Structure 1
Amino acid sequence: MALNPRDIGLRAASALVLAPAAVAAVWAGGVWYLGFVIVGAALLAVEWARMSAHGAWRAMAAIIIIAVTAALVATDLGRLPIALGILVLGAAIGGLAARLRGLQALNTAYGVLYLGWPAVLLVWLRDGHSAVGLHWTAFVFAVAWAADILAYLVGSLVGGPKLWPRFSPNKTWSGFIGGMGAGAMAGAAITAGFDMGMLTVFWGAVLGLAGALATMAGDLWESALKRRFGVKDAGALIPGHGGLLDRVDGLMFAVVVVAAGRLIVLWLEGAI
């Protein structure tokens, strides 16, 4: 797949709009970051509902938004176990409510967990106005963005055998390797430049590599979901990218891995 100048232009223009907003929210932390994640989760809920529920998407989107927003507020208040409980309960109640309204119960319940779990971890990782929380959040964004961008560029320039042609015919093994290397380098760079607690540069690279692998997995997983629902893109919000879900699918998986790394560091530091 050769580089398409029009596609590159659309992607660059979208990034120039979205990246500064994300960076500003991450930097500000607190209620600004919480609001940013809530708005993002609501947009994702609408895309998920439109993709999976078609004519009855409003009811599904409302169910997901209520459950995820409640979990995010609980997380911001320092009540992570309660937030996780809200997500599980929200998935169960949402599935039942969806079934009563004639919607796909499994799609609604899965939507609460699929969208809510990463959003909760993004808020937990930022930890209000904490400087270390800022560094860890920057870590996950840097790894996911680096892996995604380099995978696209290397795959387009080098080409070669397809990674998983059944679900994502444009992705190549060369792009996968490029993305993995970029994630490892981004992880090492952030760890070298910022206070990451006991995380060393070597282990930062390892965590970046794992985060990049999760980024690739998230991208492939969403491709499989779109195939299941018979759609090309999750939405049309972002020119050159499709929907917001098409843009953050890798980040949603990467934050799970990075949050696990953060928990290990906290345990080693005796903080938990």
Structure 2
Amino acid sequence: MALRPRDIALRAASAAVLAPAAVLATWAGGVWFLGLIVAATVLLAIEWAMMSAHGAWRAMASIIAVVVIAAVVTTYLGRLPIGLGLLLAGSLIAGLAARLRGLQALNTAYGALYLGWPVVLLIWLRNGHDLVGLHWTVLVFAVAWSADILAYIVGSAVGGPKLWPRFSPNKTWSGFIGGLTAGMFAGAVMASWLDMGRLSPAWGAALGLAAALATMAGDLWESALKRRFGVKDAGNLIPGHGGLLDRVDGLMFAVVVVAAGRLVVLWLEGAI
């Protein structure tokens, strides 16, 4: 895929509008970050429902949003295990509701889990007003965004063999390697500059590499899901990117890896 300056400019313009809001809410934490996550959850639920249950998307989007927001708010109140339990139970209820309407239960139940798991973990990472929570959240964004941007730029500029042409014909091995390198570097830099507990720069690079790999996997997985549902983009909310799900698909996988990394650090520190 050739490097197209117009596409780069459109993506950059979209990022210039959306990124400051995300950065400011992340910096502020508390109810501001909760509000950002709740708003994103509603939009993601709508996009998922329109892809997977187009004929009844309003009802399915409402069910998924309620399930995920309940788990998010519970986690925000400091009850992560209960929040995850609500997410699991709610996904089963959502699937049953879809089945009663003659829709595929698995699509709705999986949608609640697919969207809910990463946003619950994001709330857990950022919870409170301490700088450590902020730094771990910044690490997620830095790694995922670096990997995503460099993968696109390197893949567009260098080209070469396709990574997974069946589901994502534009992605290349050169972009994949560029994304992994960017994520590893971002992880090392964040661990050097920020207070990450016992996360040294070397381990930060390793965590960044793992999270960048998850970012690439999340992007490919969403491409496979879109192919399954027969759509090109998850939505048209963001010019140059498609829907919000198209923008955060890699981030959704990366946050799971970074959350696991923080759990290991907390264990090493004797906090859990």
Coarse TM-score class (shorter-chain normalised):
over 0.9
Query: Gaps (5+ residues) in structure 1?
Result: none
Match for residue 152 of structure 1?
152
Q: CA RMSD in A?
A: 0.5
Tell me the number of residue pairs that the alignment of Structure 1 and Structure 2 aligns.
272
CA displacement at 1:6 relative to structure 2: 1.3
Matches of 1:265 and 1:173, distance apart in 2: 32
Paired residue type of 1:264: V
1:184 aligned residue: 184
State whether residues 80 and 124 of structure 1, in contact with CA within 8 Å, keep that contact through their aligned partners in structure 2: yes
- 1: distance between equivalents of 2:31 and 2:253? 24
Are 1:258 and 2:224 matched, yes or no? no
Please state how far the C-alpha of 1:102 moved relative to its aligned partner: 1.7
- Is this contact kept in 2: 1:132–1:196, CA < 8 A? yes
Does the CA-based 8 Å contact 1:122-1:137 persist in structure 2?
A: yes
The aligned counterpart of 2:220 is 220
Q: Encode CA deviations 1:108-145: one digit per residue, 9 max, x unaligned.
A: 10011000000000000002212100000000000000
1-structure distance, mates of 2:137, 2:214: 16
- TM-score (ref. length: structure 2): 0.99
What is the percentage of aligned positions where both structures have the same residue? Answer: 78
- Structure 2 residue 32 is the aligned partner of structure 1 residue 61: no
4+ residue segments displaced more than 3 Å: none
Question: What does residue 95 of structure 1 align with?
Answer: 95
The secondary structure found in structure 2 opposite 1:203 is: helix
What stretches of structure 2 of length at least 5 have no aligned partner?
Answer: none
Cα displacement string for residues 71-98 of structure 1 (whole angstroms, at most 9, x for unaligned residues): 0000000000000000010011111111
- Tell me the alpha carbon deviations over residues 246-268 of structure 1, each in whole angstroms, 9 at most, x when there is no partner: 00000000000000000000000
Q: 1:5 deviation in Å?
A: 1.4
User: Which residue in 1 is equivalent to 2:232?
Assistant: 232
| 8 Å CA contact retained: 1:60, 1:103 | no
- Partner residue in 2 for 1:70: 70
Q: What residue number does 2:8 align with? A: 8
After superposition, give the CA deviation of every residue in 1:213-268 in whole Å (9 maximum; x if it has no partner): 00000000000000000000000000000000000000000000000000000000
- Deviation larger for 243-252 or 94-103: 94-103
Match for 2:239: what amino acid? P
Distance 2:106 2:221 in 1: 17
Q: Shift in Å at residue 103 of structure 1?
A: 1.9
Q: Which residue of 1 aligns with 2:206?
A: 206
- Tell whether the 8 Å contact from 1:60 to 1:98 is kept in structure 2 after alignment: yes
